[in-house]
Amino acid sequence: MTEPALRQQIVTLREQIDEHNYRYYVLDEPSVPDAEYDRLMAQLRRLEQAHPELVSADSPTQRVGATPLAAFDSVAHEVPMLSLDNAFDAADLRDFDRRVHERLGLAAEQPVIYACEPKLDGSAVSLLYEQGVLVRGATRGDGSTGEDITQNVRTIDSIPLKLRGGGWPQRLEVRGEIYMPKASFEALNERARAEGSKTFVNPRNAAAGSLRQLDARITASRKLEMCAYSVGLAEGGGLPPTHSEILYQLQQWGLRINAEMAVVEGVEACLDYYQRLGAKRNELPYEIDGIVFKVDELALQQRLGFVSRAPRWAIAHKFPAQEEMTELLGVEFQVGRTGAVTPVARLKPVFVGGVTVSNATLHNMDEVERLGVMIGDTVIIRRAGDVIPQVVSVVEARRPADACPVELPRSCPVCGAAVERAEGEAAARCSGGVSCGAQRKEAIKHFASRKALDIDGLGDRLVELLVDKGLVQNLPDLFSLQHPQVAGLERMGDKSADNLLAAIEASKATTLPRFLYALGIREVGEATARTLAQHFGELEAIQTADEGALLAVPDVGPVVAQHIAVFFQQPHNLEVIAALRAAGVHWPAIEAPGADTQPLAGKTYVLTGTLEVMSRNDAKARLQELGAKVAGSVSAKTDCVVAGPGAGSKLKKAEELGIPVLDEAGLLALLEG
Ligand code: I6G
């Protein structure tokens, strides 16, 4: 190939990769399968390796530098990175709006236009682009001086090494938040726990810790993302006249902005936005600690100016704290479905994350050791969203003289069988198996739960009662319960007994994925159960599959394969399955995926707003089962938007683009029909 042709091929490959990155990270609309992306990257790497003279710093292959730094250099911010004032309630926010009105000389009834954005819980950064090329990344530091983390920010795929399009100021400093999505944080800590290494207290610390690595390869291994929220320096070029338009402009230039950003009129609309996002907080894939409201028009921002180190035109309306301090009163050991003996912290009740918490998980004895926690300690509790409350650290300075160590019991607190800890496993387990009442109770609760056989009315309390009274010992016993036995239980009457027995009867008609999940095989969650069912088609094939055959199933690794094989080797489990089928539990045959089972193949759906009947995750999973792709943002390629109450900009965009919109009832009809 001639040199110009080679150069052209390299440029084209880089452009294609940059375009795919933009669609994936900024627009949230992947345009090619991962395999195709990997192929383009491999091709570019090959060409650059063969012609190192053609490698350029903004090539997508050059994100991760191989030489660790000795220390970070200091960076003086040319425009100081300010902080924000906080509002803790509606009255604070209304006061802010009143001050804005007074300073601008506006009549009270004249609404101010505000831009609203979630405040991501991460680390603030400054990215300097010169002539459109990323030349420096810096931490906020004290606002005047930060640290040069260029090597590290370059590893973050949602940060463009080169701006897209044109028309940008010669020197443009973009500011934003680098954060770790919740799922990446959980996975990182899960891995750390399994390896017995240090866990991070929260996604914010994880993001900050990952950014301050002298070896950029470590940063690259952490799944960080970036969301732009403002411009600092802008020299040699103009910007639009409002904050929201600047954000849209940044998006055009290749930076990710928050998809929830909205522009509203007046403070009451800000309060509505705060409520709406608050209701969605747990479902967002990243943590937020409040909402930032900014006067949208830059000319007005300029008139308002600054007070000490904060702008007068912006405020952060905070959500309830997700971390609080309390006292560890004791530790109890709970026995789970698989026999895992889990230490649970009994706490002096504390209000955190919007609820009163009096128990928190300590995971396992490795975690107890890692935290160095003792009974009587003052501990920091974290409750974020639906995740069970956790003890994240100990305030050692407050340890009382009579603090006692936490000790793993030698025998199961429920059945008395020996507690054992297998080599290399973090969890200790009760060796009682099905003879342990606690394991049986948990297995039955799981079997009846919503994602399993979904036995309406058979909640945890009732299961406890049925097992304690000796009416149910094992899963199949549920199907031989008689009316007088149920009606005679505490707080049950004729009617409730009828309802429960009808629900048990109805649960016999299930699906193979639900049944597999309901069996409670270790490491087989809903998704794995679905893939197993789809792959093998029938239960008998799964029961007789060896580890090799199981490993051929997508997402099934050696550990899961072993758990499945061991489960089906146990005669007791086979007897339970046979008895359940004899009692009438049945499911329709699984068809190979095709037009009939995947009627939404090739369609792109977007979910927005609050769903009331089903969770967003369930809706997404069900749409995916039917073959649809579920995207995070609306574009001309979207086929349908499902909008619940509180839907904002995505619904608006769908309406503008004439995309069909379904409400939740419509979605349910679609899923059923
Ligand atoms: O810390 C911040 C988070 C989010 C911000 C911010 C923001 O906008 C969405 N905006 C400004 C102007 C500042 N800090 C100073």
394 and 442 part of one domain: no
Residue ending a domain, choose from 460, 488, 506: 506
Shared domain check, 481 and 363: no
Residue at which a domain ends, from 318, 336, 364: 318
Same domain? For 344 and 314 the reply is no
119, 250, 260: which to mutate for ligand 1, most atoms within 8 A of CB?
119
Q: Is the CB of 178 under 6 A from ligand 1?
A: no
- Mean pLDDT, to the nearest integer, of 660-668? 90
Q: What would the mean pLDDT of 258-271 be, rounded to a whole number?
A: 97
> Is the pLDDT confidence value at 105 over 80?
yes
Average pLDDT over residues 351-356: 88
pLDDT number for residue 593: 59
The pLDDT of residue 172 is: 98
Q: Is the pLDDT of residue 191 over 90?
A: no
Which one-letter amino acid corresponds to residue 225? E
Query: In which domain, by residue range, is 658 found?
Result: 604-672
For 21, the token pair is 């990155």
Q: How far, in Å, is the centroid of ligand 1 from the Cα of 375?
A: 40
In a domain, 74, yes or no: no
pLDDT exceeds 80 at position 618: no
Mutate to test the pocket of ligand 1, among 229, 296, 318 (most ligand atoms within 8 A of CB): 229
Residue 155 — very low, low, confident or very high, per pLDDT cuts 50/70/90?
very high
pLDDT at residue 656, as a whole number:
85
Expressed in angstroms and rounded, the spacing between residue 120 Cα and the centre of ligand 1 is 9
- Among 85, 121, 142, 177, name the best residue to mutate to test ligand 1's pocket (greatest count of ligand atoms within 8 A of Cβ): 177
Residue having the nearest C-alpha atom to atom 3 of ligand 1: 119
Concatenating the DSSP letter of every residue in 475-535 gives GGGGGG--HHHHHTSTT--HHHHHHHHHHHHHTTB--HHHHHHHTT-TT--HHHHHHHHHH
Specify whether 160 is located in the same domain as 46: no
Give the pLDDT confidence of 27-60 residue by residue, as tens digits: 877 777 778 888 999 999 999 999 999 999 899 9
pLDDT of residue 153: 97
Query: How confident is the model at residue 445, as a pLDDT?
Result: 96
What pLDDT is recorded for position 594?
A: 54
Catalytic residue among 119, 162, 441, 445: 119
- Residues 132, 272, single domain; the answer is yes
With a 6 Å cutoff on the Cβ, whether 84 touches ligand 1 is yes
- Cβ–ligand 1 contact at 314 (below 6 Å): yes
Report phi then psi at 238, rounded to 5: -100, 170
Report the pLDDT averaged over residues 113-118: 98
Bigger pLDDT: 627 vs 435? 435
Distance CA 231, CA 281 (A): 26
One-character DSSP codes across 111-142: PPEEEEEEEESSEEEEEEEETTEEEEEEE-TT
Question: How far apart are the CA of 292 and the centre of ligand 1, in A?
Answer: 7
CATH number, domain with residue 26? 1.10.287.610
Unique residue bearing structure tokens 């900009």: 649
Tell the residue nearest (CA) to atom 4 of ligand 1.
119
In the prediction, which pLDDT does 650 show? 83
124 lines ligand 1 (CB under 6 A): yes
Co-location of 258 and 182 in the same domain: yes
pLDDT digit string, tens, across residues 305-353: 998 789 999 999 999 888 999 999 999 999 999 999 999 999 999 999 8
Distance separating alpha carbons of residues 617 and 472, to the nearest angstrom: 33
Report, as an integer, the average pLDDT of 483-490. Answer: 92
Same domain? For 338 and 360 the reply is yes
pLDDT at 597 over 70: no
**Higher-pLDDT residue of 477, 651:** 477
> Do 44 and 10 fall into the same domain?
yes
Q: Same domain for 625 and 494?
A: no
> Does 478 lie in the same domain as 614?
no
Whether 79 is in a domain gets the answer no
Over range 439-450, report the average pLDDT: 95
- Is 119 an annotated catalytic residue? yes
Whether 132 and 196 share a structural domain: yes
Domain CATH code at residue 456:
1.10.150.20
Give the atom of ligand 1 at the shortest distance from the alpha carbon of 292: 9
Residue 418 forms part of a structural domain: no
Give the nearest ligand 1 atom to 310 CA: 15
User: Is 368 domain-assigned?
Assistant: yes
**Does 240 lie in the same domain as 128?**
yes
Nearest to 216 by CA among 62, 353, 77, 320: 62
Q: What is the pLDDT of residue 592?
A: 61
Is ligand 1 within 6 A of the CB of residue 229?
Answer: yes
Last residue of one domain, picked from the residues 506, 528, 548:
506
The CATH number covering residue 224 comes to 3.30.470.30
Q: Could you tell me which residues come within 8 angstroms of residue 16 by beta carbon, excluding any fewer than 6 positions away?
A: 40
* Mean pLDDT (the chain, rounded): 92
- Whether ligand 1 lies within 6 angstroms of the CB of 208 is answered as no
Query: Structurally, how many domains does the chain consist of?
Result: 6
Q: Give the pLDDT confidence score for residue 613 in this predicted structure.
A: 77
Whether 26 maps to a domain, the answer reads yes
Whether the CB of 119 sits within 6 Å of ligand 1? yes
In short, whether 292's Cβ falls inside 6 Å of ligand 1 is yes
Residue 76 lies in a domain: no
pLDDT confidence of residue 216: 94
Domain contains 73 = no
CA–centroid distance, 284 to ligand 1, in Å, is: 19
| pLDDT band at residue 187 using 50, 70 and 90 as cut-offs | very high
Q: How far is the CA of 261 from the centre of ligand 1 (A)?
A: 13
For ligand 1, the distance from its centroid to the CA atom of residue 301, given in whole angstroms, is 14
Q: How far apart (Å, rounded) are the C-alpha atoms in residues 533 and 45?
A: 39
pLDDT digits (tens, 9 = 90+) for 199-232: 888 999 999 999 999 999 999 999 999 999 999 9
Q: What phi, psi does 345 have (nearest 5°)? A: -80, 130
Given this model, what pLDDT does residue 596 score?
61
Res 476: pLDDT: 95
Beta bridge partners, 225, equal 179
Residue 56 is assigned to a structural domain of this protein: yes
User: From the CA of 80, how far away is ligand 1's center (Å)?
Assistant: 12
- The per-residue pLDDT for 595 is 55
| pLDDT score of 639 | 92
